[in-house]
Amino acid sequence: MSTYEDRLKALRSELAKRKLDGFVVPLTDEHMSEYVGAYAQRLAWLTGFQGSAGSAVVLPAEAAIFVDGRYTLQVREQVDGAHWSYQSVPQTSIAEWLKGHAGQGARIGYDPWLHTRGWVKAARAALAEKGAELVAVDTNPVDAVWPDRPAPSKARLIVHGDALAGKTSAEKRQDVADWLAARKADAVVVSALDSIAWLFNVRGQDVERTPVALAYALVQADGTADLFVAPDKLGDDVAKHLGNAVRLHPRDAFAGYLAGLSGKTIAVDPERAVAAIFEALDGAGARTIEARDPTVLAKAVKNAAEIAGHKAAQLRDGAALTRFLHWLSVEAPKGGLTELDASDRLEAFRKATGVLRDLSFDTISGAGPNGAVVHYRVSEETNRPIELNSLFLIDSGGQYEDGTTDVTRTIAIGTPTAEMKDRFTRVLRGHIALARATFPAGTRGSQLDVLARQYLWEAGLDYAHGTGHGVGSYLSVHEGPQRIATYGGGDEPLQVGMFLSNEPGYYKSGEYGIRIENLVLVEARATEGAEREMMGFETLTFAPIDRELIDAGALLPAERAWLDDYHRQVRERIAPQLDGAAKAWLEDVTRPLGSEG
């Protein structure tokens, strides 16, 4: 189908055939994933939206797309406002919108493999107030009108060695068995793809940028497990690695297996398991216990091997990024560079390490006004030149076998304005405040978020995204449950061993964007005279921060000392990996503030 308008018409026609008055299209898959395989990109195919979070509702005469503050600008550039109304989350929700827009007696369809049970309950209740009903579909109507829909990936699973994982799969499964025993449950459903990858010490290639494989699992109370994955994805090495304690089944046998669990007590995560899983268990006569997937917190608290691997990956990645920043400092002022040139060159520097497995997400390469689009995704259509006397924002990361990286730098191309320097310095001061924080055990990310925003707030400014997200160990670049945010999360107590990002920003629509991002590790912090166990952050990312954008006079002495010490560490750790002009450049741009170049 040639246009998004045609696709919308085709879906409406299909809904009419099915006697449905509407349909909900989320951006997720059967595993409630943030990043999904090509076969599950229904929202992008239907609307053109390329972000990583959103949903849509199609009614006979109107349609709406729902995104949060990260995508306010992006959705307007990618989705035609003539056919779609733009809705902001959390200010509104699909349930609330349907309550106001669905007709009396309307039948609104949904795919039970793409929504949580909580969402279904809320939407059903909202529609009931209008005398309308929510109707589960057996097959997804978007798939029926998507003629060239890709097939799910057939890539084989990859063994993630115990030396990198730091713990065997058998040990992890025994921990889950102990968790089940404490709850007097027979088994737990594990449906999140990164949880499965972590639990079985395997990785995959089924989702771009995230090394996971399409699968489901049930871990039994005796520490054995049933893994549901397409048979042609399993090589002899993986089968040997999994061993006899892991029984293998085809992925499409999962629903049928659930139907045979009559009388069993099964733990299911209401946030990560779709409604169809609960419905299958209820239909089988199983008893369900709602509980968070027991691998989630265990995966978030990294062990010594994972921390060591991440630090090695960061040094390698920091050198690649520094080589890129040096290259940009030479080439960008000449003119002629574009956003795509920059993102391609940075990827080439990472590939030159010889061990890059993938990027950890599509590089955000935003020149000038595109830098103000928080999750901008450069394409041939949007590709801008990197112009003199402008800001360039690049947010990128790599997937290495020993770690996952994520780093943002904002660079002045030419001479920045006084306003740019003021905003950058406020963002930097917030970044430093968070990096320097000492806090008691039990502190939540929501309690720390204000540290990063305080200097922007002083000037009546803010940013519409969280300050920090968890990061996986050669897994998802966005990993829960920990976050640093005042909304949409941030309630998980931080624990020693967690990775997080520290990434405050500022965005002036139509002009420029600023973000400074390093990854940090929660560590125990010895504090003289402390009456409580204290923690702080160890910074893990090493690459220069642009001195040309810093108003040094606005920094407090402790802030200057932090920045000078950070740049000293960058120099000591990264310079030995460089030579020639790149090494000389790094030594110059990491000299103490106020010193002569």
Residues 329 and 459 grouped into a single domain = yes
pLDDT-derived band at 74 (thresholds 50, 70, 90) equals: confident
Residues 166 and 49 grouped into a single domain = no
Question: Phi, psi (5° rounding) for residue 499?
Answer: -95, 140
Q: Which of helix, strand or coil describes residue 404? A: strand
Q: Does residue 591 fall inside a structural domain? A: no
Q: Do the bridges between strand 479-484 and strand 22-26 make them parallel or antiparallel, or are there none, so unpaired?
A: unpaired
Residues 22 and 132 grouped into a single domain = yes
Residues 166 and 257 grouped into a single domain = yes
Question: What's the CATH code of the domain at 451?
Answer: 3.90.230.10
- Can you give the pLDDT at residue 596? 56
Residues 130 and 171 grouped into a single domain = no
**Do the beta carbons of residue 468 and residue 398 sit within 8 Å?**
no
Residues 340 and 363 grouped into a single domain = yes
Least confident of 20-29, 89-98, 340-349, 392-401: 89-98
Residue finishing a domain among 273, 291, 309: 291
CA gap 137, 125 in Å, rounded: 18
User: How much is the pTM?
Assistant: 0.94
**Do the beta carbons of residue 430 and residue 529 sit within 8 Å?**
no
Residues 349 and 417 grouped into a single domain = yes
Q: Does residue 596 fall inside a structural domain? A: no
Residues 56 and 96 grouped into a single domain = yes
Q: How many CA atoms lie within 13 A of 558 on its CB side?
A: 8
Question: What's the CATH code of the domain at 27?
Answer: 3.40.350.10
Residues 384 and 494 grouped into a single domain = yes
Residues of the domain holding 215: 158-291
Residues 364 and 487 grouped into a single domain = yes
Residues 479 and 335 grouped into a single domain = yes
DSSP string of 344-361, one letter each residue: HHHHHHHHTTS-EEEESS
Residue finishing a domain among 112, 145, 178: 145
DSSP string of 185-240, one letter each residue: -SEEEE--HHHHHHHHTEE--SBTTB-----EEEEETTS-EEEE--GGG--HHHHH
Residues 6+ apart with CB under 8 A from 267: 180, 183, 185, 187, 188, 189, 288, 289, 290, 291, 294
**Do the beta carbons of residue 313 and residue 283 sit within 8 Å?**
no
- Which of 330, 335, 336 minimizes the C-alpha distance to 581? 330
Query: What's the number of domains the chain is made of?
Result: 3
For residue range 531-549, list pLDDT tens digits in order. Answer: 999 999 999 999 999 999 9
For residue range 183-202, list pLDDT tens digits in order. Answer: 999 999 999 999 999 999 99
For residue range 255-271, list pLDDT tens digits in order. Answer: 999 999 999 999 999 99
Q: Does residue 150 fall inside a structural domain? A: no
Average pLDDT over all residues of the chain: 96
Q: Does residue 328 fall inside a structural domain? A: yes
Residue 487 has pLDDT above 80, yes or no: no
Question: What percentage of the chain exceeds 90 in pLDDT?
Answer: 92
Residues 323 and 214 grouped into a single domain = no
Q: Does residue 481 fall inside a structural domain? A: yes
Q: Does residue 469 fall inside a structural domain? A: yes
Q: Which of helix, strand or coil describes residue 35? A: coil
Q: Does residue 296 fall inside a structural domain? A: no
Q: Does residue 592 fall inside a structural domain? A: no
Q: Which of helix, strand or coil describes residue 513? A: strand
Residue finishing a domain among 261, 291, 321: 291
